[in-house]
Amino acid sequence: MKIDLSPILGGETDELKLDYPLTIQEDFPGVTFPKPVRVLGTIINRAGYIALSAVADLTYETVCDRCLAPITKTFSLPFQKTVALSGTLENEDRDDYLIAEDRMLDLDEPLTEALILDFPTKNLCSEECKGLCQHCGKDLNEGPCSCNKKEIDPRLAGLAKFLSKNN
């Protein structure tokens, strides 16, 4: 979404409110977004220093990384940047600023980039999730499986065969 900064730059107001939906165009493997990201925030002008402060709230659907159960999660990303007009920065690091071209500020790209970088890399149905049995694939959250829990160290498997022959 492009935001017209003319009211702030022209002195008509010192604050612009933001409340808009952001549709994520990027592909997140194994993740779907049932509704657009909601962006809430303000752009404030304090004596020529223009600051953006926003929060992007999103709901996403994926599967638990341990037990593969479908889950719905929410993620909230705080986003704060200083806004500068194009042509006003000389030696500063441009990554620290949002650049407004022709008094218009495009938030979609920087917000999407921040969401990609901060998106959770691990999704669990609960912190206590036990996952799946590595042998039979049973969901251990539903109860124990009937697999043999006794595992022999593969380095000692030859010794176990030897001992079973002698008994």
70 in the same domain as 121: yes
> Reduced to 3 states, what is the DSSP secondary structure of residue 123?
coil
148 in the same domain as 69: no
93 in the same domain as 147: no
Burial of 133 (0-12, 13-18, 19+ CB in 10 A): middle
How many domains does the chain divide into?
A: 2
For the whole model, what pTM was predicted?
0.74
Q: What is the pLDDT along the chain (167 residues), one digit of tens a residue?
A: 888 888 888 888 889 999 999 988 788 888 999 999 999 999 999 887 889 999 999 999 999 999 999 999 999 999 999 888 877 766 656 667 888 888 889 898 899 999 989 999 999 999 999 999 988 889 999 999 888 777 777 788 788 778 877 76
Q: What's the domain range around 111?
A: 2-127
167 in the same domain as 93: no
For 132-155, the DSSP string reads B-TTT--BTTS----S------GG
Sole residue written with tokens 């003319």: 6
